[in-house]
A and B are shown apart, each in its own frame.
Chain A
Amino acid sequence: MPKKVISGNYAAAYAAKHARVEVVAAYPITPQTSIIEKIAEFIANGEVENLEYVPVESEHSAMAACIGASAAGARTFTATSAQGLALMHEMLHWAAGARLPVVMVDVNRAMAPPWSVWDDQTDSLAQRDTGWLQFYAENNQEVYDGVLMAFKIGEHEKVNLPVMVIESAFILSHTYDIVDMLEQEEVDEFLPPRKPLYSLTDFDNPFSIGALGTPADYYEFRYKIAKAMEEAKKIIKEVGKEFGEKFGRDYSQMIELYKTEDADIVFMGMGSLMGTVKEAVDIFRSEGYKVGAAKVRWFRPFPREELYELAKSVEGIAVLDRNFSFGQEGILFNEAKGILYNTDANPIMKNYIVGLGGRDLTVNDVRKIASNMKKIIEKGELDKEIDWYHLKR
């Protein structure tokens, strides 16, 4: 298998190429730009065939063009970031509502104001309720693998929903790392051409997509999406397992558990910060602390069952949120707590708000968080529920 030292953005572009996407519509925004630039380069170099590139005039139109293309049966890809994703918001609902499996890479970037181009998960998490599946990549390898799996999962007849693959601004998008790429034939075997359930090109049986849904029917349309999301959990695990068996990198767990078997304290989070956390876990383990990491790969659909299984066996969960829902708390924390209510799993949970707008989270920071959690567990009570960890005081 060819190994390449590439950025997260290039990993995304190569994955789109290897997935043989047919339509790419995109609008430039930092730090996403190098994804679409690389795809344009593939076309210019004659490295791809039957790929139409639509350089649209806004992100809103990028998603609109993608849904049009997807409705006409094409395998469709785009990428964006922050403000661009926010501008797309309306059309994200449209893609999911019309059951169009568009795949999009979102480069997590903080929302303005103040202007920021650095990492923060608020942009993608604000799209939580649009009906998109969300995969958070820890490193460039996971960006590449995630995009390939996203097509297979989203286009699965039992899912038929759009999928967002999320990578961190600069930490992944512009940082070079070794990525194990697949041969084109391997990808072709894993990911055959898209077979749409329906297409606007069915001229003999014309129908309309997205017509007015009256109160007599709208409700059922929503239920079918809800059901497809539940079904997607099974498909995600199947596809993740198949990927592991074929290529050696297993994605059958929706929450990647790292040294949690006998752990008292688990650090839970999403995306690139979990790389740092795993490194910290290794160090603490060597010092004799029973800690582990739980990386939430799929935020939508949320792996409720996997979280419950984990929560049953640990004493405390430190949820690290690189995001914040104003007026409430970190979003992953909020979700995780909600899931465990009404169950018999009742670990102490504390929310650490970290890394907003690109602030670094170091191994030493994780150490401080670990010792704080240790104290809490020894005492058996929380000092406070939400900790703005980096706050300058």
Chain B
Amino acid sequence: MEIPADVKKKLTIPAEEHFYAGHTACQGCGAALGLRYVLKAYGNKTIFTIPACCSTIIAGPWPYSAFNAPLFHTAFETTGAVIGGIEAALKAKGYKVKGEDGVMVVGWAGDGGTADIGLQALSGFLERGHDGLYIMYDNEAYMNTGIQRSSSTPYGAWTTNTPGGKKRFLERKPKKKVIDIVIAHKPAYAATASVAYPEDFMRKLKKAKTIKGPSFIQLFAPCPTGWRSPTDKTIELARLAVQTAYFPLFEYENGKYKLNMPSPKKEPKPLEEYLKLQGRFKYMTKEDMEILQEWVLREWEELKKKAEIFG
């Protein structure tokens, strides 16, 4: 569809689509939105690597692909290593990597493939300083295999292997802070982003293309299927996660932290507003909610302090 010039002028993100209709994501999928933005930001001169995750399926079975860009499907734990290898090949063969007209090398992996089984390869990718971008799309569980907990699943969440019930066998551990592990590697650039804030996400993607060295973005991407939430609430949930400071937006560059919150000075909204829209938190007691709320605020204060000291 042709977009009228006056409308196009007002768009805050590019109108061009490189992520085609006909992909096979569930309704309301945050990851599919995220992919669409990444492809909008980088266009087709991008090499994608996707390990086992929802996006393997979203991209489509052989011989189809929803991507207008080359895409390599790889094994679960290898994203960091494969993008390192691709970058090395591009350099050996004399391609320009990154920059305005250069090739962008992107790894796109879920939280399980990043925080758990893929952590070692991610660490290697960061430590060796490859010129690429690793995006962890965080939907807080192994959604493609049927909603099992990952180390990125939050405290109190129901999943199929933390099923709640009489014994209250819920997730008892707080969410692993992968972004902190990444920052410990002193990468060129690291940031959190959310599908509810596409302009912020696009800006971060553009930045990752200009900075030399490895970049990492942790993208918050709600999963209605796994979160037991209405499919039209994806953006609202992603926004609430930011507004409650459950998933604060920030970036790290050259040892400096910068908060990218819509209103960083505003007090976070109560976490309950975010939790109550999701069936996965239905087993939580009042006490559980307090524990999670306390964790969120403690982490938020810590992050604010980092931004203050290393701002």
| Interface of A toward B, CB cutoff 8 Å | 22-23, 25, 50-52, 54-58, 60-62, 64-74, 76, 90-91, 94, 200-203, 206-214, 217
Contacts and interface: CB of A to CB of B under 8 A. Distances in A.
Contacts of B47: 72, 200-201
Contact of A210 (B72, B92, B95): B72
Contacts of A60: 77-78, 81, 121
B82 interface: yes
B57 to A, nearest CB: 7
Contacts of B134: none
Contact of B72 (A52, A54, A55, A208): A208
Contact of B85 (A69, A203, A206, A214): A69
Chain B interface helix/strand/loop/mixed: mixed
B62 A217 contact: yes
Interface string B50-76: 000000110111111101111111110
B65 A50 contact: no
A72 B90 contact: yes
Contacts of A203: 44-45, 69-70, 103
14 contacts: A25-B88, A60-B121, A62-B81, A64-B121, A65-B88, A68-B89, A69-B86, A69-B88, A72-B85, A91-B78, A206-B69, A207-B65, A211-B65, A213-B61
Contacts of A217: 62-63
B49 interface: yes
B30 interface: no
Interface in B267-288: none
A94 B45 CA distance: 24
A100 to B, nearest CB: 10
A54 B94 CA distance: 16
B84 A68 contact: yes
Interface residues of B, number: 46
B264 interface: no
Contacts of B80: 61
Given A52-B91, A208-B67, A65 B72 contact: no
Contact of A73 (B44, B77, B89): B89
Given A61-B80, A203-B44, A208-B60, 18 more contacts: A58-B124, A60-B121, A62-B81, A64-B74, A65-B84, A68-B85, A70-B89, A72-B93, A91-B75, A200-B47, A206-B65, A207-B70, A208-B59, A209-B71, A210-B72, A211-B60, A211-B61, A211-B64
A90 B76 CA distance: 10
B89 A69 contact: yes
A74 B84 CA distance: 13
Nearest to A214: B61
A278 B92 CA distance: 43
B120 interface: yes
B123 interface: yes
A94 B78 CA distance: 11
A212 B63 CA distance: 9
A206 B44 contact: yes
B128 interface: yes
Nearest to B107: A68
B84 A56 contact: yes
Contact of A64 (B61, B67, B82): B82
Contacts of A213: 61-62
Nearest to B71: A208
A23 B103 CA distance: 18
B280 to A, nearest CB: 27
Contact of B75 (A62, A66, A94): A94
Nearest to A66: B85
Nearest to B121: A61
Contacts of B71: 206-209, 211
Nearest to A23: B88
Nearest to A193: B93
B24 to A, nearest CB: 10
Nearest to B83: A68
A67 B73 contact: no
Given A58-B120, A203-B69, A209-B73, A64 B78 contact: yes
Interface in B76-117: 77-78, 80-86, 88-95, 103
Contacts of B127: 57
Nearest 8 CB-CB pairs, A to B? A68-B85, A65-B85, A210-B73, A61-B81, A74-B89, A64-B78, A64-B81, A72-B89
A326 to B, nearest CB: 27
Given A73-B93, A212-B57, A200 B84 contact: no
A22 B92 contact: yes
Contacts of B60: 208, 211-212
B81 to A, nearest CB: 4
A67 B82 CA distance: 7
B89 A22 contact: yes
Contacts of B123: 57
A283 B60 CA distance: 64
B199 to A, nearest CB: 26
A349 to B, nearest CB: 39
B82 to A, nearest CB: 4
A25 B65 CA distance: 29
Contact of A56 (B61, B67, B81): B81
Contacts of A91: 75, 78
Contacts of B49: 68
Q: Which of A54, A202, A213, A217 has the most CB of B within 10 A?
A: A54
A103 B24 CA distance: 36
A23 B128 contact: no
A268 to B, nearest CB: 36
B50 to A, nearest CB: 9
Contacts of A72: 47, 85-86, 89-90, 93
A228 B226 CA distance: 43
Contacts of B89: 22-23, 52, 68-70, 72-74, 76
